[in-house]
Amino acid sequence: NPQRDYDLSRPINLDGVGLRQKLTSYGDAHFSLFMRKLFIKAMGYSEDALSRPIVGIVNTYSSFNPCHANIPQLIDAVKRGVQLHGGLAIDFPTISLHESFAAPTSMFLRNLMSIDTEEMIRAQPVDAVVLIGGCDKTTPAQLMGGISANKPIIHLVTGPMMPGSFKGTRVGACTDCRNNWATFRAGGLDIEDISNLNEELAPTAGTCGVMGTASTMACLLVALGMMPIQGATPAAVSSARLRIAESTGVHAVQLTQSRLAPQTILTRESFLNAITVLQAIGGSTNAMVHLMAIVNRHPTLAGTVTPATVDEIGRRTPLLVDLKPSGNNYMTDFHNAGGMPALLHQLRPLLHLDALTVTGHTLGEELSKVSILTLPPDHPANCIRPFTAPLYPSSALIVFQHGNLSPGGAAVLKASASKDRRLIQNYRGRAVVFHGSADLAARIDDPALDVDADSVLILTGIGPVGNPGMPEAGLIPIPRKLAAQGVQDMLRISDGRMSGTAGGTIVLHVSPEGADPGSILGVVRDGDVVVCDAETRELSVEVDENELRDRLRRRREEMQHRAASAVAAGNEDGLEGTLEPWVARDRLRGYRGLYMREVNQAEHGADFAFLTAAGPGPAPRSAR
Ligand code: FES
Ligand code: MG
């Protein structure tokens, strides 16, 4: 009886579910409820509807975001699931990030999206929240925000796109975008072909159809227990995707009763499972940064899972999934071969099956509930290899733990996507150094560039602060004159990131980044000998310590000098150039200033220090 809610003689408890959540500040409790009801009734809800637990649905639709194009249908299906099971579903927006339409880079905005997600979950009377996302930075941002808000959440991904077709060959975003572009650059495709390909590389709604960051994060959400185990692989445009959405709505209603929140569900074992899956799928290097950011949002797990953990688990985890860019297939093939349940089944010996999931059951229990499709190992459609006959024996992703070039311990290489193993076997090569993306673009194809097939290409200044957002510019192209000679792979090293859909022998996330005045990467010079050994996990530059110390000291002086002259000349804009971001950041306004002042290094997740579980803390900025 709604009249009871306004009976001033009866005490009212705003500690319940739905609109009765303790949230607000209208003064007295009766008036608070009265106000909330009168406003929400303008949406047409009845007293009956408003008496139900409320399942919020985060809507990240945008007409700029093809990876999220199916979200309106998914919301309908989630609502059906919620409302068939007695809840009230209410969708609300947060920002939408697509890789191609989030300048300077979507990673720059990931932390902003996590703040948006966290605060909207906190602000509204939701008892559980379905987080619908898909494109690369979305799912990590949502989980980071969700953990910090710590209300019950469940993930639903938009799902992968279908592959397209070009002259009888399947193609898909975005491994084939890069391969074909490289062929075009080397003169192997004409302009008509490359234009026709442009029509086919992303032929449907949904996330990139290979094992890029979006697919990787979807698989990791399953392994973490934050998404039901069949949720990762159904195509965005499939009916299976809509049924997953409906059942996600049902699980969300159950969450309003169990009240299982992410800080309770997630344990160290959940993260170890996620890393095992990351290695077994040959997942995106970006996932490593995201996982660190995610774990560091958790008050008791922060700091207990590091890039070293990823390396350690890799040593005993075989690569089982044959998907581009490490292998040959597409996400739809992975789905048709049994998807995550079939993979988890193969990985049983390595998994912590007693880890809890969002359904309230353990991963092992969930796995025993579904029928597992196992195709014969030699079946042509089988892109999930048996545990005993892997695609690659171990360490699809390796993390360089030793040597002077990346003492932060974040430098990572997707060894399984290397086209030339020689480049990581105690390899020594002469550095050719580029300072920032503009320098790279200006000189990489210069016929006079002093480079040969054995050189090591180094790109510095594209780290979290140096090029805010740490762009996916780590895929340094092979200089055109070498590509034309048939060189397909070279050792390339940077402090940036790379798309999960790309391949090659590419070391990423070097830390401290080159823009840091204390960074060794920042003082590597043309001609220095760089050593890279996947076996011993060593990444070094063979320059003696005194010389390095000397270079660092001179560099610091130069930076200070340039900053001082820019200020004296009233040219503070000059501070924001690629040379001085470390100095400029204290003077920049807005989100960019906030980002540059607060972002931590890759091994911590490139999150804002004040958002981590540790909070602002007294750590010196260079160590954050
Ligand atoms: Fe969205 Fe690739 S661009 S997943
Ligand atoms: Mg990507």
DSSP string, 177-229: HHHHHHHHHTTSS-HHHHHHHHTTSS-SSSB-SSSSHHHHHHHHHHHHTSS-T
Q: φ, ψ for residue 511 (rounded to 5)?
A: -145, 145
Quote the tokens at residue 619. 């750590």
CA distances from 333 to 11, 157, 176, 235 (A): 59, 18, 16, 10
CB 301 within 8 A of CB 270: no
Q: What SS3 class is residue 338?
A: coil
Nearest by Cα to 223 from 23, 357, 115: 357
Exposed / middle / buried, residue 253 (Cβ in 10 Å: 0-12, 13-18, 19+): buried
DSSP-derived secondary structure for 259-308:
---HHHH--HHHHHHHHHHHHHTT--THHHHHHHHHHTTSTTTTTSS-HH
Q: Which of 41-50, 271-280, 576-585 bottoms out in mean pLDDT, i.e. has the lowest?
A: 576-585
Identify which ligand lies nearest to the alpha carbon of 97: 1
Q: Ligand 2 being an ion, which residues bring their Cβ within 5 A of it?
A: 136, 212-213, 499
Give the confidence band of 564 by pLDDT, cuts at 50, 70, 90: confident
- By most ligand atoms within 8 Å of CB, the mutation choice from 136, 210, 219 for ligand 1 is 136
CB 152 within 8 A of CB 256: yes
Give the confidence band of 620 by pLDDT, cuts at 50, 70, 90: very low
The pLDDT score that the predictor gives to residue 623 is 39
For residues 360 and 33, give the distance between their C-alpha atoms in angstroms, rounded to a whole number: 31
**In what helix (H) or strand (E) does residue 114 lie, and over which residues does it extend?**
helix 106-123
With a pLDDT cut of 70, the percent of the chain lying above it is 97
Cis status, amide bond into 208, omega within 30 of 0 = no
Identify which ligand lies nearest to the alpha carbon of 62: 1
- By most ligand atoms within 8 Å of CB, the mutation choice from 60, 67, 97, 215 for ligand 1 is 67
For ligand 1, the distance from its centroid to the CA atom of residue 305, given in whole angstroms, is 27
**In what helix (H) or strand (E) does residue 492 lie, and over which residues does it extend?**
strand 492-494
Torsion of CA 607, 612, 618, 624, to 10 degrees: -30
Identify which ligand lies nearest to the alpha carbon of 214: 1
For residues 99 and 493, give the distance between their C-alpha atoms in angstroms, rounded to a whole number: 22
CB 501 within 8 A of CB 365: no
**Mind listing the pLDDT tens digit for each residue in 204-225?**
999 999 999 999 999 999 999 9
Residue closest via CA to ligand 1's atom 1 equals 135
Ligand 1 contacts (CB < 6 A) are: 67, 98-99, 135-136, 173, 207-208, 212, 214
The pLDDT score that the predictor gives to residue 622 is 44
With a pLDDT cut of 90, the percent of the chain lying above it is 83
Q: Compute the average pLDDT of residues 401-425.
A: 94
CB 302 within 8 A of CB 403: no
For residues 202 and 123, give the distance between their C-alpha atoms in angstroms, rounded to a whole number: 37
Going through 31-149 in order, the beta strands assigned E by DSSP cover 54-59, 88-93, 128-133
Q: Which atom of ligand 1 is nearest to the CA of 501?
A: 2
**How many CB atoms sit inside 10 A of residue 230's CB?**
18
Q: Compute the average pLDDT of residues 553-567.
A: 86
Q: Which of 15-19, 121-125, 317-321 bottoms out in mean pLDDT, i.e. has the lowest?
A: 15-19
Q: Which atom of ligand 1 is nearest to the CA of 499?
A: 2
Q: Which atom of ligand 1 is nearest to the CA of 134?
A: 4
SS3 of 83-111: the string is: HHCCCEEEEEECCCCCHHHCCCCHHHHHH
For residues 37 and 424, give the distance between their C-alpha atoms in angstroms, rounded to a whole number: 64
Q: Compute the average pLDDT of residues 569-595.
A: 77
DSSP state at residue 494: E
- By most ligand atoms within 8 Å of CB, the mutation choice from 107, 207, 323 for ligand 1 is 207
Nearest by Cα to 318 from 353, 340, 347: 347
Exposed / middle / buried, residue 305 (Cβ in 10 Å: 0-12, 13-18, 19+): buried
Give the confidence band of 585 by pLDDT, cuts at 50, 70, 90: confident
Quote the tokens at residue 124. 């509204």
Alpha helices in 452-544 (DSSP H): 480-484
The pLDDT score that the predictor gives to residue 24 is 64
pLDDT at 175 over 90: no
Residue closest via CA to ligand 1's atom 3 equals 99
For residues 244 and 263, give the distance between their C-alpha atoms in angstroms, rounded to a whole number: 24
- By most ligand atoms within 8 Å of CB, the mutation choice from 65, 71, 99 for ligand 1 is 99
For residues 447 and 458, give the distance between their C-alpha atoms in angstroms, rounded to a whole number: 18
**Mind listing the pLDDT tens digit for each residue in 357-401?**
999 999 999 999 998 988 887 888 889 999 999 999 999 999 999
For ligand 2, the distance from its centroid to the CA atom of residue 281, given in whole angstroms, is 16
CB 180 within 8 A of CB 194: yes
pLDDT at 304 over 50: yes
For ligand 2, the distance from its centroid to the CA atom of residue 493, given in whole angstroms, is 19
Q: Which atom of ligand 1 is nearest to the CA of 215?
A: 4
Pairing type for strands 164-166 and 128-133 reads: unpaired
For ligand 1, the distance from its centroid to the CA atom of residue 506, given in whole angstroms, is 21
The pLDDT score that the predictor gives to residue 300 is 97
| Amino acid letter, 190 | D
For ligand 1, the distance from its centroid to the CA atom of residue 156, given in whole angstroms, is 16
Mean of per-residue pLDDT scores for the chain: 93
CA distances from 195 to 82, 188, 198 (A): 45, 14, 5
Residue closest via CA to ligand 1's atom 2 equals 208
**In what helix (H) or strand (E) does residue 370 lie, and over which residues does it extend?**
none
Q: List % helix, strand, coil for the chain (3-state, nearest 5).
A: 40, 10, 45
Tokens 């960074």 correspond to what residue?
519
Tokens 């927006």 correspond to what residue?
93
Cα dihedral sign for 292, 295, 296, 302? negative
Angle at 417 between CA 413 and CA 422, to 5 degrees: 80
DSSP state at residue 134: -
Q: Which of 35-39, 491-495, 501-505 bottoms out in mean pLDDT, i.e. has the lowest?
A: 501-505
Q: Which atom of ligand 1 is nearest to the CA of 207?
A: 4
57-96: burial string, b at 16+ Cβ within 10 Å, e else: bbbbbbeebbbbbbbebbbebbbbbbbebebbbbbeebeb
For ligand 1, the distance from its centroid to the CA atom of residue 5, given in whole angstroms, is 47
For ligand 1, the distance from its centroid to the CA atom of residue 208, given in whole angstroms, is 5
For ligand 1, the distance from its centroid to the CA atom of residue 207, given in whole angstroms, is 5
For residues 211 and 376, give the distance between their C-alpha atoms in angstroms, rounded to a whole number: 22
Cis status, amide bond into 377, omega within 30 of 0 = no
Identify which ligand lies nearest to the alpha carbon of 202: 1
Alpha helices in 434-479 (DSSP H): 436-443
For ligand 1, the distance from its centroid to the CA atom of residue 135, given in whole angstroms, is 5
Q: Compute the average pLDDT of residues 282-293.
A: 96
Tokens 């974040």 correspond to what residue?
410
Identify which ligand lies nearest to the alpha carbon of 471: 2
